[in-house]
């Protein structure tokens, strides 16, 4: 049985390997114990730059918004007005100007909420906002990829607990997306079905790595997960982006996001930190057969609200490594209730 021995697992989406060492879960090292991050409870915070009516850096004042609210990042990493430019010296020094646009998406006017604490209808409004932003950014001539993501919690370097995410639109297709574009295209060429459709069907039939599912989406701890409680959220229908979801599909996405984030919070009875993001087909107007909408959740926590995994040593030098198996992680997440612990 593979699960009792150290082994490596292959990630067919990005063509990389992860080392799994199940026998190590009993070792004495207990990891770094960090202070539990302070949880906020006020619906409005006068010093928050995302709360309605407050001033942001640079002096712009947020409107008194009541749903979602989107603005251009005041400290954008990519800027639309960047001129074309290239630098090259032999085969060693190569650089290129990169233009793009960075947006910040407030999920709610309430400073004290998170996706896990929002109603399905409110999360549905976030999904609709993601769709509108994706469509608008994709329509711009110099945008070839749109990355929607959320960075949650101080442990992930998130600067502000006010529920928000970001969208970076880029003039070129970033490496992380490109790798998944390439492997999905190769799989489709060979099998005439998308990699992720075959994958979710396989996981649904096996059950052991499934966390939760509804009519439109399936959430698994992927066979090749790197982070202890990493999850992969896959649309059942092989659509290339959020825009091809039906109204029912958008609702299904809101529902499954709520259920997954509640399970995460319930795992260690904490507001669970993570980085999540959607992978959607590039927006350069090429055709991408086999590209299948999905989202990755990468949470850093390992054993409690304070013990986190670090990517260090062998992992930075060679390949990522995990102790707890993806199957054990999925079984823990699956066993949790979908009622938030603060509501019980």
Sign of the CA dihedral 50, 56, 62, 64?
A: positive
Angle at 164 between CA 161 and CA 166, to 5 degrees: 130
Ranges of H-type helices in the chain: 120-138, 175-191, 195-206, 247-268, 314-317, 326-335
Residue 235 bridge partners (DSSP): 217
- The three-state secondary structure class of 275 is strand
Q: Which residues are catalytic?
A: 164
Distance in Å, CB of 176 to ligand H2U, minimum = 17
Check if the beta carbon of residue 241 is closer than 8 Å to that of residue 281.
yes
**Residue closer to ligand H2U, measured from CB, 73 or 214:** 73
If the CB atoms of residues 20 and 104 are measured against ligand H2U, the closer one turns out to be 104
Nearest to 161 by CA among 278, 41, 46, 341: 41
Residue 29 contact, options ligand H2U, Zn ion, none, Cβ 5-8 Å cut-off depending on partner type: none
| Cβ neighbours around 154 below 10 Å, total | 15
| Beta carbon of residue 315, minimum distance to ligand H2U (angstroms, whole number) | 23
Q: Which does 99 bind (CB under 5 to 8 A by kind): ligand H2U, Zn ion, none?
A: none
Q: Map tokens 């997306």 to a residue.
A: 177
| Number of neighbouring beta carbons within 10 Å of residue 89 | 8
Nearest to ligand H2U of 136, 151 (CB atom):
151
Residue 9 corresponds to which tokens in the numbers above?
């697992």
Question: For residues 136-165, which are near Zn ion according to CB under 5 A?
Answer: 162
Distance CA 314, CA 305 (A): 25
When binding is defined by CB under 5 A, the residue of 9, 101, 103, 111 that contacts Zn ion is: 111
Identify what 111 binds: ligand H2U, Zn ion, none; CB under 5 to 8 Å per kind.
Zn ion
CA distance 237 to 201: 11
Q: Which is nearer to ligand H2U, 163 or 282 (CB)?
A: 163
Minimum CB–partner distance for residue 164 and Zn ion (Å): 9
- State the minimum distance, in angstroms, from the CB of residue 148 to ligand H2U: 12
DSSP single-letter state for residue 60 = P
Beta bridge partners of 170: 100, 145
Binding site for ligand H2U (CB under 6 A): 49, 56-57, 73-75, 104, 151, 158-160, 164, 166
Nearest CA among 217, 216, 214, 233 for reference residue 225: 233
The stretch near Zn ion (CB under 5 A) out of 4-12, 37-45, 187-195, 296-304 is: 37-45
Q: Minimal distance in Å, beta carbon 108 to Zn ion? A: 9
- Residue 45 contact partner, candidates ligand H2U, Zn ion, none, CB within 5 to 8 A by sort of partner: Zn ion
Give the contact letters, 44-73, x = binds to Zn ion (CB under 5 A), - = no.
-x--x-xx----------------------
Tell me whether residue 22 or residue 109 sits nearer to Zn ion (CB atom). Answer: 109
Binding site for Zn ion (CB under 5 A): 45, 48, 50-51, 111, 162
């Amino acid at each position: 049985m593979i699960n009792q021995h150290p082994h490596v697992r292959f990630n067919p989406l990005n063509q990389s390997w992860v080392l799994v060492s199940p026998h190590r879960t009993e070792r004495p090292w207990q990891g770094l114990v960090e202070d539990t991050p302070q949880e906020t409870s006020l619906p409005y915070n006068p010093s928050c730059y995302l709360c309605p009516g407050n001033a942001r850096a640079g002096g712009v004042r947020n409107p008194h918004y009541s749903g979602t609210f989107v603005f251009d990042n005041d400290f954008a990493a990519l800027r639309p007005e960047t001129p074309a430019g290239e630098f090259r010296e032999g085969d060693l020094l190569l650089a290129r100007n990169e233009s793009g646009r960075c947006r910040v998406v407030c999920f709610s006017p309430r400073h004290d909420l998170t996706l896990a604490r929002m109603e399905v209808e409110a999360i549905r409004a976030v999904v609709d906002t993601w769709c509108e932003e994706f469509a608008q950014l994709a329509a711009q001539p110099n945008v070839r990829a749109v990355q929607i993501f959320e960075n949650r919690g101080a442990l992930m370097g998130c600067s502000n607990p006010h529920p928000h995410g970001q969208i970076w639109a880029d003039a070129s297709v970033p490496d992380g997306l490109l790798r998944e574009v390439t492997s999905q295209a190769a799989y489709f060429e060979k099998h005439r079905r998308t990699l992720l459709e075959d994958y979710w069907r396989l996981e649904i039939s096996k059950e052991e790595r499934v966390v939760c599912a509804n009519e439109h989406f399936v959430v698994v701890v992927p066979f090749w997960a790197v982070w202890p409680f990493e999850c992969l959220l896959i649309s059942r229908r092989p659509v290339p982006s959020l825009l091809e979801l039906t109204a029912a599909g958008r609702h299904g996405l809101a529902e499954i996001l709520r259920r997954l984030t509640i399970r995460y919070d319930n795992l260690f009875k904490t507001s669970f930190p993570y980085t999540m993001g959607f992978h959607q087909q590039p927006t350069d107007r090429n055709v991408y057969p086999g590209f299948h909408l999905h989202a990755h959740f990468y949470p850093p926590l390992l054993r409690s609200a304070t013990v986190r995994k670090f990517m260090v040593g062998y992992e930075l030098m060679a390949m990522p490594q995990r102790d707890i198996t993806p199957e054990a992680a999925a079984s823990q997440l699956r066993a949790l209730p979908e009622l938030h612990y603060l509501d019980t």
